[in-house]
Amino acid sequence: MQNVVPMKWLFARLYEPDIVIVDCRFQLGKPDAGREAYEESHIPGAVYLDLEKDLSAPIEEHGGRHPLPDIAELTATLSRAGIGNATRVVAYDDQGGAMASRLWWLLKYLGQEQVFVMDEGFSAWKAAGLLVNAEQKVLIPAPFLASVQHNMLVEVEEVQEIVAAADGSVVLIDSREAPRYRGEVEPIDKVAGHIPGAINRFWKDALGENGGWKDAEGQAARFADLPRDKSLVVYCGSGVTATPNVLALQEAGFSKVKLYAGSWSDWISYVDNPIAIGDEAERKYG
């Protein structure tokens, strides 16, 4: 199923009544920058959803830096934004699709089928001379009933079992940059390293040289060594930048893809969880 749509696809459908466009721009460390950018200019008709205020729960001892939001609160937020079960949702950001993919994943998790990420992002939209304005849409709430897809998510206990088994029956994929994966640097979390047994696939490799998403063939090439008959569990630092890899794996035709939403920041909140440093040995899947 198509998950990424070109800018011109959205431009042609700007005013179709069943489409809600969501601006997801957000900068880590600058929590107000995304909303300020939205208020300055955005795609016409777009509503704004904030990564930390709308698409995450408050931080607690466990759950990571961006815990999944409470389902009832999230569905209420979506409803207020005019997103109902029959709505087609198009999300965009200016962060390579990472924040938009978070909303894409959350909506898929809640059972929404018609949800897309706009290719390239807002800066490319503006550079192409397409319409922007600062007008804020009058929001008409829409009923949203969640149908939670529990098979899309794994919790820390399941990851612990995967690590303990160490039998290759499930593939763990770390979506962070290679130096963070190897534990050479850690600019955000308190502990460096990765979950034992995980392989590294940096999420930004889902993008081409122009900053747009690679096509299905390009995504498949990134994961050519991975088995299609086994479950894949994807994580990152806090569960946000893992979602572009989840999307990319789906584009590549993988069907057994799950998110460890708490990710590395949740994993290290349990002091007894093992930690690996350096590269993992080459693995043969089959």
Residues marked active site are found at 236
Note whether 153 and 146 are within 8 A (CB).
no
Report d(CA 47, CA 67) in Å as an integer.
22
Q: How many residues does the chain have?
A: 286
Task: Output 280-285 pairs: Cβ under 8 A, ≥24 positions apart.
Answer: 280/197, 280/198, 280/199, 280/200, 283/168, 283/199, 285/168, 285/171, 285/225, 285/226, 285/227, 285/230
Note whether 7 and 120 are within 8 A (CB).
yes
What strand order describes the sheet that includes 19-23?
A: 4-5, 115-118, 88-92, 19-23, 47-48
Query: Maximum Cα–Cα distance for the chain, whole Å?
Result: 55
- Cα four-point dihedral sign 156, 158, 159, 165: positive
